[in-house]
Amino acid sequence: MPSVAPQARWLDFLAAFRAWLFLAILLITFEVWAHAVYHDTFLLNPFNISSIAVFTVTPLLLALGQTFVIISGGIDLSVGFTMGLSAVVTAHVFNWGITFSSPLVSLILAVLAGFTVAVIPGLINGLLIADLRVPPFIGTLGMYGVTRGVAYLLARGTTVPVNGSLLASIGNGSIGGFPTVVLLTIGIVLGMHYLLSLTRFGQHTYAIGGNVQAALRAGINVRNNTIALYILSSLSAACAGILYTAKFSAGAAQAGEPVLLDSIAAVVIGGASLFGGSGTIVGTVIGALIIAVIQYGLVFVNVEPFWQFVAVGVVIIISVLVDQVQKQVGKDGING
Amino acid sequence: MADASAPDPLLRVENVSKRFGGVHALKEVSLILYPGEVLALAGDNGAGKSTLIKIISGVHHADGGSLWYAGKEIKLDNPHQARAYGIETIYQDLALADNLDVGANVFLGREPVRRVFGFPFVDRRRMRVEAETTLRGLEIQINRLDVPIRSLSGGQRQSVAIGRAIHWKARVLIMDEPTAALGVPEQRKVMELIANLKESGVGIIFISHNLIDIFQASDRIMVLRRGSKVGERRTSETNSDEIVRLMVGG
């Protein structure tokens, strides 16, 4: 065993489980706060739990694809408006489909269209980054503008209401007491976890983020892998857009605007490094839950909503600091 | 090759040349490597050592000349093809992914997959077990195989890179400055490893600036200067003064 100073081991533990610790501390804080001030329970109220879960869905769905991109050493700033684009197209296609076919057929067409339209910005991002060597920050920032404009143009600057009630019944329905959107999201989370942690694609994503030269020399098809990553990120955003349209019975270009940065925050709080090479789906889920608990919890205990921004910001900074300190101590403390 | 006692050469490079624009990086250089032999490439910066090994490992394509592997002429369009012949290269930067564990690095880009209900799963257990077996065979000690290799020492990381090449049945192993970034005890460990590989019949091409290492490890020394081969000596029949003279010319 390499000799590890006790405080280094303690820090390793802290760094590895920091997201869980944050979540636990937040839940306990709100529980105590709710008891002390309002003689009420925060955690044991099923309505709160369900609300937090529904609240988590949109930022989490954006964050799932973002996790892959960030692990590969990139970033995708376009997901917010890719989500909006997808939401608007889903609404339009549903309305169009229902003019000549059954609601079910239009639903299928609408969902397919919502995914298909999202592939376009994802593919362009991937080609820009993999083939034309555009830095991910710049390429996806450009695509942020393009998808934003196109989404508003398609929506004619307003929201697109959905005709009929099928979509709304999915978006606001529940199965066995659990909100349908939450159940769908759990399914997507499981799929993404499989893809990242258990397949070669996921393994290569880590390798690209860890050392792209090593990945190239090992014969990994870095180009195709990178393009696939950005398409995956867009599809992940499309899930959020489609569920948004289902929930609000309307597609809106600005649907994802407020959650774009939350989604990146969720990935980082969940333990991913913006330098690439690390991060997990489980971490991202916890990260998204932390943000949702802060936002919902502060409302629950009647704090002015602007404190949410402060609280989320502080959690991001602490999270990255713990990571830095642990890496530094880890480097000095382990003698091979 | 009338001499029946001499083994067939593993690798033969004949009169390869390479230009980069106006620069004549390599001028009709030839090389022979036998199994179980360590050939050291010596030369100053810009002498053409890197260009030569990049041609042998399939990274660069020679403008002229030919490559022969086990008696057959081969064409290498990319590093993949070189690797398929058992020509493995360990670069100075080792080409390891620091965020992955030993098994994942040994199998980087060639991960084994097992199917469960039709779904492919990366077989991590097999990667760890086989990596461990290979490393043990090379008498490489690594305490933890399940942690990211950034926590390993320079020598251990070098060992992982060598282990990877051996795991994939390297017959020709090209090592670019394998001891440059290591402390003295670790340099010694790598030199022992080279001796072990030699015994098992691997042909090794060894690039180094360090004449002490070259004299300790190699059987033959080939000296390049400004893209040309300026001399080749049996290590036992020369000394560092002569090699330095060849390197700097004059």
Q: For B162-216, how does the pLDDT look when each residue is reduced to its tens digit (9 = 90+)?
A: 888 888 888 999 998 887 777 787 788 888 888 888 888 899 999 988 888 899 8
Mean pLDDT score of chain A? 91
B110 in a structural domain = no
pLDDT at A6 over 90: no
B150 in a structural domain = no
A78-82, A122-126, A317-321, B15-19: segment of lowest average pLDDT: A317-321
Average pLDDT over residues B148-166: 87
Q: Could you tell me the pLDDT band of residue A179, with boundaries at 50, 70 and 90? A: very high
Higher pLDDT, B170 or A65: A65
* Contact call for A211 and B113, based on CB within 8 A: no
B143 contacts on A by Cβ (under 8 Å): 1-2
Query: Does residue B108 belong to the interface with chain A, where contact is any CB pair within 8 Å?
Result: yes
Amino acid identity at A308: Q
- How many other CB atoms sit within 10 Å of the CB of residue A336? 14
For the four alpha carbons of B29, B32, B36 and B40, in that order, the dihedral sign comes to: negative
How far apart are the CA of B152 and the nearest CA of chain A, in angstroms?
Answer: 6
pLDDT at A219 over 60: yes
- Measure the CA–CA gap between A120 and A122, rounded to whole angstroms: 5
Helix (DSSP H) and strand (DSSP E) numbers for chain B: 8, 12
B117 in a structural domain = no
Nearest CB to A203 within list B91, B122, B151 = B122
Range of the domain at B211: 11-86+171-248
The pTM for the full model equals 0.87
Per-residue pLDDT, A1 = 40
Average pLDDT over residues A91-109: 94
Mean pLDDT score of chain B? 88
Q: Per DSSP, what are the bridge partners of residue A251? A: A160
- Measure the CA–CA gap between A277 and A255, rounded to whole angstroms: 30
pLDDT at A142 over 90: yes
B100-138 pLDDT, tens digit per residue, is: 999 999 999 889 999 999 899 999 999 999 999 988 887
Per-residue pLDDT, B151 = 85
Per-residue pLDDT, A292 = 94
Q: By the 8 A CB rule, do A119 and A145 touch?
A: no
Query: Does residue A142 belong to the interface with chain B, where contact is any CB pair within 8 Å?
Result: no
- Measure the CA–CA gap between B7 and B2, rounded to whole angstroms: 11
pLDDT at B223 over 60: yes
B197 in a structural domain = yes
Per-residue pLDDT, A331 = 57
B77 in a structural domain = yes
Nearest CB to A203 within list B95, B98, B111 = B111
* Contact call for B143 and A334, based on CB within 8 A: no
- Report the residue of B60, B87, B100 to disrupt the A interface, i.e. the one with the largest count of A CBs within 10 Å: B100
Query: Would you call B151 helix, strand, or coil by DSSP?
Result: helix
Per-residue pLDDT, B77 = 87
Query: Does residue B109 belong to the interface with chain A, where contact is any CB pair within 8 Å?
Result: yes
CATH number at residue B21: 3.40.50.300
Higher pLDDT, B206 or A228: A228
Q: How do the domains of chain A map onto residue ranges?
A: 45-326
Q: Is B53 exposed, middle or buried (0-12, 13-18, 19+ CB in 10 A)?
A: buried
Per-residue pLDDT, A335 = 39
A271-280, A307-316, A318-327: segment of lowest average pLDDT: A318-327
A192-196, A316-320, B201-205, B227-231 — most confident range: A192-196
pLDDT at A300 over 80: yes
> Between residues 142 and 161 of chain B, which touch chain A (CB distance below 8 Å)?
143-144, 151-153, 155-156
* Contact call for B109 and A277, based on CB within 8 A: no
Query: Does residue A218 belong to the interface with chain B, where contact is any CB pair within 8 Å?
Result: yes
Per-residue pLDDT, A180 = 94
Query: Would you call A279 helix, strand, or coil by DSSP?
Result: coil
Query: On the CB side of A208, how many CA atoms lie within 13 Å of its CA?
Result: 26
pLDDT at B1 over 50: no
> Between residues 276 and 335 of chain A, which touch chain B (CB distance below 8 Å)?
277-278, 330, 334-335
B187 in a structural domain = yes
Average pLDDT over residues A4-11: 65
Q: By the 8 A CB rule, do A148 and A237 touch?
A: no
Q: By the 8 A CB rule, do A209 and A136 touch?
A: no
B208 in a structural domain = yes
Higher pLDDT, A333 or B233: B233
Q: Could you tell me the pLDDT band of residue B69, with boundaries at 50, 70 and 90? A: very high
Alpha-carbon distances of B188 from B157, B193, B212, B217, rounded to whole Å = 14, 9, 11, 10
CATH topology of domain A45-326: ABC transporter involved in vitamin B12 uptake, BtuC (1.10.3470)
Higher pLDDT, A201 or B1: A201
B14-18, B139-143, B176-180, B193-197: segment of lowest average pLDDT: B139-143
pLDDT at B52 over 90: yes
Per-residue pLDDT, A181 = 95
Q: By the 8 A CB rule, do B134 and B142 touch?
A: no
Residues 6+ apart with CB under 8 A from B103: B124, B127, B128, B130, B131, B132, B145
A6-20, A209-223, A226-240, A320-334 — most confident range: A226-240
Query: Would you call B100 helix, strand, or coil by DSSP?
Result: coil
What's the domain count of chain B? 1
Helix (H) or strand (E) holding B205: strand B203-207
- Report the residue of B76, B93, B99 to disrupt the A interface, i.e. the one with the largest count of A CBs within 10 Å: B99
Per-residue pLDDT, A330 = 58
DSSP B35: T
pLDDT at A235 over 50: yes
DSSP-assigned states of every residue in A60-81? HHHHHHHHHHHHTT---TTHHH
What percentage of chain A reaches a pLDDT higher than 70?
A: 95
B224 in a structural domain = yes
Query: Does residue B80 belong to the interface with chain A, where contact is any CB pair within 8 Å?
Result: yes
